Structure 1
Amino acid sequence: MELEVRHLRALCAIADAGSLHKAARQLGVSQPSLTTQLRRIERALDGELFLRERTGCRPTPFGRTILGRARPLLAEMAALVAEARALSQGPRLRIGSTASRALPGWLRRLHRRLPDTETDLMVDVSANALLRMTASGRLDVAFVHEVEGSPLRVPAGLELRVLVEREPQFVSMSRDHPAAARAVVELRDLAADRWTVDPSVDGEWDGLRRVLAGAGLDPPLLHADYHTAASLIASGEAVAPCQPTSGLREDMAIRPLSGDPLAVRLLLATRPGVHAQVFDGVYEDLRAAYREAALETPPYRAWLRRNASPLLAA
């Protein structure tokens, strides 16, 4: 078996994710398929690359050596592909983002600002993955969320600009949940509920667990992707943290938490080589789009007024 770029990419994904399950989701393959591929790679290299533990995978000393050689190769290959595409396709802006309702307005503004530039968009649940792609040249900019208390692993060389220093995370629940009748919800109002989180969202599980533990709560946690979580919430099976800009639904209620214990920092990152003037324009368009999305959401608009947010005067 000869090693290919996809094999190196798989090894790096496992190391970065810390588990075969998370790496498989990021790569878009099944976990059994990735496990089989890893075994073949280890046989080809005649050595164990990862220690399989109850909590996940971590590289062996031999694995760290291989990863140290693989990462520069992948970065060079990504940069080569990016440069080739740029030369053949003309002006192109490659954007990465975690989920956000600001995206449509952001793209609309960018198309007006840069009418001759082709815009690509990649949405990923992993902020760390988007930052790595930006550092390697596969993306030009990335709009990401950093969960409070769980710092992102920012590759060297990236320029970061803060969009919102502390965005409160609200809670979503079924429309007939008793707490839905309140304008602001206390964590103790949700003491009897199960919470659902997507474990592939960097920092979300740890951040929620810390806040609940700090409030003396230890509820059962359900791990589910966003689409499954929405069904669980609407049916009353669980509650979940959510972005304050989340769209309203007839079968769900979105409410702020008293004291805003859950929060994220919103960041825009760019790689070296992106012209400063272009980055400035991209940032200003994102800021305007985020403000638009924030003011269109009644619960968040009310929160902004109560807290005299600068967004109201922007």
Structure 2
Amino acid sequence: MRHLRALCAIADTGSLHRAARELGVAQPSLSTQLKRIEHELGGRLFIRERTGCRPTPLGRVVLGRARPLVAEMRALVAEARATAAGGPRLRIGSTASRALAGWLRRLRQRPATDPALQMDVSANALLRMVADGQLDVAFVHEVEGSPLRVPDGLRTRVLVEREPQCVSLPNDHPAASRPVVRLTELAQDRWMIDPTVDGEWDAVQRMLRAAGIEPLVLHGDYHTAASLVATGEVVTVCQPTSPSRPEAAVRRIDGDPLGVRLLLAARTEEDLDSVFPELEEAYWETTLQAPAYREWLMTRGAPLFRESRGAPPAAVRRT
């Protein structure tokens, strides 16, 4: 299990240095451990590049099996500790979202509620964990054109039917001077995409091909991408609620060619009802901090304020 945790940490951080820091070990020790694992499995698991580490085809196969095992062990430990402390916790899974902090804050304000959190870049992995009883609910995104594999028996509720994805680019990029960017303006830039996010690499490829461009694409996690955007090395896709920073700008893509559907999954309608209102409020709270996205919603007739709760209602659909 220690080896599997190390492999997941390297993949998630995209760097031996950051993975070693996360695991609390020295980088040379982690490098030696990785070489030992690769020798045992008979092939390289990661390609080391100047920009970091990315999984090889063998590495992706191994990670596909390792992640559920590591997640299951974490869930087992969390559940055991919670039981020993006096009772079960609300077990939440989520892909990355700026609404997550507000959602957890609201849930913790309820009596006797202290949610446990499991993050994963794979929405499909989180859905399987809900179906297997390892999680109570999962908040995930479904990339347009790449339907999620929802296990039988799960109930889902849509938070946002289509959230348009934006592009993050260096603040001194010529295209950053305008609120909307044409993809052809980014044809000469290097793009960084995380291929471990379910469906995202395929969707970005389709988007770029439809625009008639074939830019150089680097593979890496989005934490690394954010750092490289700041130094002018790459551009990358991002959520519309992502904030612009002094070194990086978030801009809409002309025509909104890339979208995701945001949904909550659980085993019962009662589980959905128990946490959906707080998620809804938290998400719309983030839109108030993203002026460009708020304007986009307004042009499409989406309400942005609700006096009684301070947030607009989302379009809800039960399946």
TM-score, reference length from structure 1: 0.74
Deviations 1:14-70 (A, max 9, x none): xxxxxxx889737x897655545556xxxxxxxxxxxxxx955899xxxxxxx9xxx
Does the aligned pair in 2 maintain the 1:91–1:117 contact within 8 Å? no
User: Could you tell me which of 162, 171, 178 is aligned with 1:175?
Assistant: 171
**For residues 194 and 128 of structure 1, what CA distance do their matches in structure 2 show?**
28
User: Could you tell me which of 154, 161, 168 is aligned with 2:157?
Assistant: 161
Does the aligned pair in 2 maintain the 1:24–1:34 contact within 8 Å? no
Secondary structure of the 2:181 match is: coil
Does the aligned pair in 1 maintain the 2:191–2:216 contact within 8 Å? yes
Larger Rg: 1
Does 2:121 match 1:119?
no
Does the aligned pair in 2 maintain the 1:171–1:257 contact within 8 Å? yes
Secondary structure of the 1:287 match is: helix
Deviation at 1:221, TM superposition (A): 0.2
Does 2:92 match 1:99?
no
Does 2:209 match 1:206?
no
In the superposition, relative to structure 1, how do residues 159 and 86 fare at CA in structure 2: closer, same or farther (>3 Å)?
A: farther
Deviation at 1:98, TM superposition (A): 0.8
User: Could you tell me which of 272, 276, 279 is aligned with 1:283?
Assistant: 276
TM-score, reference length from structure 2: 0.73
Does the aligned pair in 2 maintain the 1:169–1:262 contact within 8 Å? yes
Residue 63 of structure 1 corresponds to which residue in structure 2? none
Does the aligned pair in 1 maintain the 2:144–2:261 contact within 8 Å? yes
Residue 146 of structure 1 corresponds to which residue in structure 2? 142
In the superposition, relative to structure 1, how do residues 80 and 100 fare at CA in structure 2: closer, same or farther (>3 Å)?
A: closer
Residue 229 of structure 1 corresponds to which residue in structure 2? 225
**For residues 144 and 31 of structure 1, what CA distance do their matches in structure 2 show?**
31
Does the aligned pair in 1 maintain the 2:72–2:134 contact within 8 Å? no
Does 2:14 match 1:25?
no
CA RMSD of aligned residues (A): 3.5
In the superposition, relative to structure 1, how do residues 223 and 282 fare at CA in structure 2: closer, same or farther (>3 Å)?
A: same
Deviations 1:151-210 (A, max 9, x none): 222222221111111100000101111111111111112122111111221111111011
Question: Which amino acid is the alignment partner of residue 134 of structure 2?
Answer: R
Deviation at 1:294, TM superposition (A): 1.3
Question: Which amino acid is the alignment partner of residue 256 of structure 1?
Answer: R
**For residues 210 and 105 of structure 1, what CA distance do their matches in structure 2 show?**
33
Does the aligned pair in 2 maintain the 1:198–1:226 contact within 8 Å? yes
Deviations 1:225-253 (A, max 9, x none): 22221121112221110000112311111
User: Could you tell me which of 93, 104, 107 is aligned with 1:110?
Assistant: 107
Residue 16 of structure 1 corresponds to which residue in structure 2? none
Does 2:297 match 1:304?
yes
**For residues 228 and 80 of structure 1, what CA distance do their matches in structure 2 show?**
30
Q: Which moved more, 1:286-295 or 1:196-205?
A: 196-205
Q: Structure 2: which 5+ residue stretches go unaligned?
A: 13-18, 20-29, 43-55, 306-311, 314-319
Does the aligned pair in 1 maintain the 2:241–2:290 contact within 8 Å? yes
Percent identity of paired positions between Structure 1 and Structure 2: 57
Deviation at 1:277, TM superposition (A): 3.6
Secondary structure of the 2:90 match is: strand
